[in-house]
Amino acid sequence: MHEFSLMRDVIGILRSSAVERGIERIESIRMTVGSLSCAFPPALETAFNALSQGDPLLEKARLDIFEQDIVIRCESCGTEAELGGNEFVCRGCCDTAVSVIRGDELVIDSYRGR
Amino acid sequence: MRMREVKVMQSVMRANDTLASANADRLRQAGVFAVDMMSSPGSGKTTILERTLEALGGRVGISVIEGDVATTRDAERVRARGAQVVQINTGGACHLDANMISHALDDLDLDGGDILFIENVGNLICPAGYRLGEAERVMVLSVTEGVDKPEKYPAMFRSCSVVLVNKIDLLEVLGLGLEEFTAEIAKVNAGIQIMPVSALTGEGMDEWYAWLEDGLRRIGAAYIQ
């Protein structure tokens, strides 16, 4: 259930940004949610729908979530590739010393409003 | 008013990460080795802490922050073995966050050369997303949970430097081999240090104690007599 608390933080960040810029109504929000971020996009949407109700800044806003797949970089051969399946192993040389370079993010990219 | 697009590019976790860094600085400066312990409910985290208190409690100060949805049962167990304890009841929240730890640190009397265990809420999902200010992240996987957990919960297994594979005294009853667990763990994180243990019989626990003392020497060296 921590998507509700995450979404409260998202809304807090959006509200202070909107107040700073004199934006009164947000029409769309774009987020990137990595599949290693421990947040589930449908649950974030549910939380957003519940928390934006009756809020003049957000009630007409659409939430667009870009789901970022896991991308790993091999520490031996430098290959960067999406994770194929569930194993954290280099597709190039099969080495298991890999680091996650994308897929653990939970980011508010941008929003549109007036 | 005309439509505008605003670039934000801000991590939702930034506020938590900032507080976690402050906690980490505070603990490092105090010479305290902080370990975030994560696992499913019932994996044996508290029993491992009880054993650890019995083994190391006479030589080093051990403090515990206990995170649970409800009750002080775990806190009472580790307090009975001499630990200084702060209980956090999350009342439904599925993880601890850096703000909760910051407040808990205010209530602890920490000395240089101490180990601080943060026993997270039993959950293999959300706790992986929240940095607390720990020096190391350790997880416990008990063999009764089955061999499929690493692949099912990769974020947790990727985020830890050590996994204690607990309850190995039950492997025979379960008809499972330790190598099945180590192979499955290596699939998602080949770099994680695997320590097979039984908190019940004490098997394998010496390696865990030695790892803790190493960590303490790295951070609290100046304070150890």
Write down the mean pLDDT value for chain B.
94
Q: Which letter does DSSP use for residue A114 in this model?
A: -
According to the model, what pLDDT value does residue B67 have? 93
The per-residue pLDDT for A1 is 63
Q: From chain A, pick out residues whose CB is under 8 angstroms from the CB of B128.
A: 38
Residue % of chain A over a pLDDT of 70: 99
Subunit contact A106:B6, Cβ cutoff 8 A: no
Neighbours of A50 (CB within 10 A): 10
Comparing alpha-carbon positions, the chain B residue that sits nearest to A11 is: B12
Neighbour tally for B171: CB within 10 Å:
18
Would you list the DSSP string of B63-107? EEEEEESS-SHHHHHHHTTT-EEEEEE-TT-SS--HHHHHHHHHT
Contact B191 A96 (CB under 8 A): yes
Integer Rg of chain A from CA = 18
User: Which regions in chain B score pLDDT beneath 50?
Assistant: none
At A101, list the tokens. Answer: 């370079």
Length of chain A: 114
Q: How confident is the model over B95-110, as pLDDT tens digits?
A: 999 999 999 999 999 8
ipTM attached to this prediction: 0.90
